[in-house]
Structures are given as C-alpha cells and as structure tokens.
C-alpha cells in the first residue's frame, strides 16, 4: 500500500515512548525542522510506491511479498538482539500476527489494483482507510463516531464514486473499475491492521508489534504467491531494483522517518501531512508513467482528501 507498516503512536523506532518536544529541557530539544524533514521524507518515500510497483512489472502479490520480506530481514534481527525486549502474551501475539495478515492482503490487493488502474486513482481510493477505521471501531469496539465523521464519510464516498464511475463509463484511457474496487477493498484490510494496532497500543511497543505483524504479512503473501503459482525468482535487474526500493525506501525508510516525525510533531500535523502523498503520486504518475490527471480524478481526489481530513481531524487530537 502507499503507507508503511507503522502504528501512529508517539514512539521511537525502538519502541521507547517519546516525550513531546514541549516537555523536554531546552538543551535536549532537537530542531523542529528535523521532524518536518522526516515527515517530508516519509511522504516522498510513500508517494513513489505505485511507480515502483509498475516498474517491478510482476504480479501484485509477488511485489508485495518482497516488500515485506526485505523489511522483515531488518526488523526481525533487530528485535531479536534488542536488550529490553519483553515477550508479549499469547493473545497479543496472535492479534499482532492477525494485523499482519490484514496488511499482507492489503498490499496484495493494492499492488494488483495499481497494475490494473491509474496509479493516482489507486492511491486516492486506497487511502480511504481512516473512514473504514471509524466504521470498524464503531462495529467492533462500540465507539460511536462523532457527527463530523459522517460528513467526512459522505465526502470520501462521493469522491470515490466519481472516480470509479468515470472509469466504468470509459471516460479515462488508463482507468479500470475492477482495479478501483480492489484499491477500495485494500483500504478495508489496512483498516483491520490499524485497528489491531490500536487494540494493542497498551500491551505492546511499536517495534515488537511491527515485527510480529510483518512476519504475519510475509507468511500470508508467500502462501498467496505459492497457491496462485506466481514465480518468485528469475526477475530482471530492473525488477529487483524496484523491489529493493519498495522494501528499503518505501517500507523501512518511510517507517523510520514517520515514527520519528510522530514522536516530535502533533498527530494532526502528521495526519494532514501524509495526505500530501496523494497529489504527489498523481504528479509523479503524470511525469514518469505518462498518466494524465483527468477532471474526474481531480474532483474525486479533492473530495476524498477533504473527507479523510475531516475524519482524521475528529479522530486525532493534538497531544
């Protein structure tokens, strides 16, 4: 997906709780521009995901497998040698792995969507996740969303409908309604991952959760690839380069940069900042993939961003 495997709490990459800058002595406060630079780096790394998926030129589940497998080769050893690691309970482990299963299915569907429809459309539709998180929290945890949530939901659904119907009616040359729907479903699975992360917020630190989750993702995607008979070797140099970019830059690089930004900036800043990946992806697709931004994409994308912003604004208070 166009997002790294990370739970947005205020933790460092090692999983140790971070004190907001405002509460630190003046001598220990790092320049705020570093946090903004980290956020910009994360946004840039995530925005390139659809392009790297296209350049890999292999089935979606296969590129998704290598994205998480490469990241796992770093996260698993790191957790294994970490000195302050305390094993979580069995139930917490199962929930974390279940979140990883959701993340793996999210990537498989999203990567397939990018290969079928316009990269910008897939990015916009795949980032409806905050809406699905709100609905999932209401259904699973009985947390009724605030009134503003429904306004955001209406905006997001209207934007998504405009883009999907435009593709279905043949108003674009690169759009595909099946790919659009796959991107939407991918967002539902990513919401499942985020809900599992939120459920374990008090029981497990960020590094432990992400390591267990990524193991679940690797196993899930490997099983999908084997069951569907997808080749996992014999790729060209260009394909391996794109896969390395997905795993090292868009997954790990974005992960570390985003966790640092979340530890030093208000959640509202990071949540809104991450939305800038969507227009950036559209621009990159226009320049490097020669995919023009249509009026339907622009109108639908703006409505979707507005809806997600409204939902995020009501869900995430400033620390």
Does residue 12 fall inside a structural domain? no
Banded model confidence at residue 225, pLDDT cuts 50, 70, 90: very high
- The per-residue pLDDT for range 150-189, each reduced to its tens digit, is 888 788 778 878 877 776 676 566 678 899 899 999 999 9
CB distance 247 to 69 below 8 Å: yes
- The pLDDT value recorded for residue 317 is 46
| Number of domains into which the chain is organized | 1
Banded model confidence at residue 4, pLDDT cuts 50, 70, 90: low
Is the pLDDT at 7 greater than 50? The verdict is: no
Exposed, middle or buried, 135 (CB in 10 Å: 0-12/13-18/19+)?
middle
Place of tokens 């023009």: 292
φ and ψ of 82, to 5 deg: -70, 130
Higher pLDDT: 52 or 315? It is 52
Higher pLDDT: 232 or 159? It is 232
Rounded alpha-carbon distances, angstroms, from residue 292 to 45, 57, 126, 174: 22, 20, 19, 9
Does residue 3 fall inside a structural domain? no
Does residue 10 fall inside a structural domain? no
Report the C-alpha gap between 58 and 66 in whole angstroms: 11
Report the C-alpha gap between 158 and 304 in whole angstroms: 7
Specify the range with the lowest mean pLDDT, choosing from 119-128, 160-169, 229-238, 276-285.
160-169
Does residue 188 fall inside a structural domain? yes
Does residue 13 fall inside a structural domain? no
Is the pLDDT at 129 greater than 70? The verdict is: yes
Closest CA to 301 of 151, 133, 161, 107: 161
Give the pair of three-digit tokens for residue 113. 């969507």
Does residue 126 fall inside a structural domain? yes
Banded model confidence at residue 10, pLDDT cuts 50, 70, 90: very low
Banded model confidence at residue 108, pLDDT cuts 50, 70, 90: very high
- Segment 266-272 shows an average pLDDT of 68
Is the pLDDT at 277 greater than 90? The verdict is: no
Residue 94: which domain range? Answer: 21-315
Does residue 254 fall inside a structural domain? yes
- Segment 61-87 shows an average pLDDT of 85
Does residue 169 fall inside a structural domain? yes
């Amino acid at each position: 997906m166009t997002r790294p495997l990370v739970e947005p709490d205020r933790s460092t990459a090692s999983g140790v709780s971070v004190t907001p800058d405002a509460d630190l002595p003046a001598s220990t406060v790092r320049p705020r521009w570093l946090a903004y630079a980290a956020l910009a780096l994360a946004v840039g790394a995530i925005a390139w995901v659809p392009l790297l998926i296209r350049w890999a030129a292999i089935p979606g589940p296969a590129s998704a497998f290598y994205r998480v497998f490469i990241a796992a080769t770093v996260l698993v050893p790191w957790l294994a040698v970490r000195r302050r690691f305390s094993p979580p309970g069995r139930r917490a482990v199962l929930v974390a792995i279940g979140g990883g299963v959701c993340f793996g299915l999210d990537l498989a569907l999203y990567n397939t969507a990018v290969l079928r429809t316009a990269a910008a459309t897939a990015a916009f539709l795949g980032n409806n996740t905050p809406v699905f998180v709100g609905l999932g929290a209401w259904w699973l945890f009985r947390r009724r969303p605030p009134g503003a949530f429904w306004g955001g939901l209406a905006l997001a659904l209207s934007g998504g409908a405009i883009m999907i119907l435009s593709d279905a009616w043949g108003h674009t040359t690169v759009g595909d309604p099946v790919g659009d729907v796959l991107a939407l479903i991918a967002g539902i699975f990513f919401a499942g991952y985020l809900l599992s992360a939120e459920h374990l917020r008090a029981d497990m630190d960020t590094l432990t959760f992400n390591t267990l989750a990524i193991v679940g993702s690797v196993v899930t995607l490997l099983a999908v690839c084997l069951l569907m008979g997808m080749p996992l070797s014999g790729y060209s140099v260009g394909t391996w380069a794109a896969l390395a970019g997905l795993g090292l830059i868009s997954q790990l690089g974005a992960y570390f940069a985003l966790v640092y930004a979340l530890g030093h900036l208000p959640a509202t800043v990071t949540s809104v900042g991450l939305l800038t990946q969507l227009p950036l992806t559209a621009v990159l697709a226009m320049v490097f993939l020669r995919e023009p931004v249509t009026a339907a994409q622009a109108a639908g994308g703006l409505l979707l961003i507005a809806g997600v912003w409204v939902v995020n604004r009501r869900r995430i208070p400033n620390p």
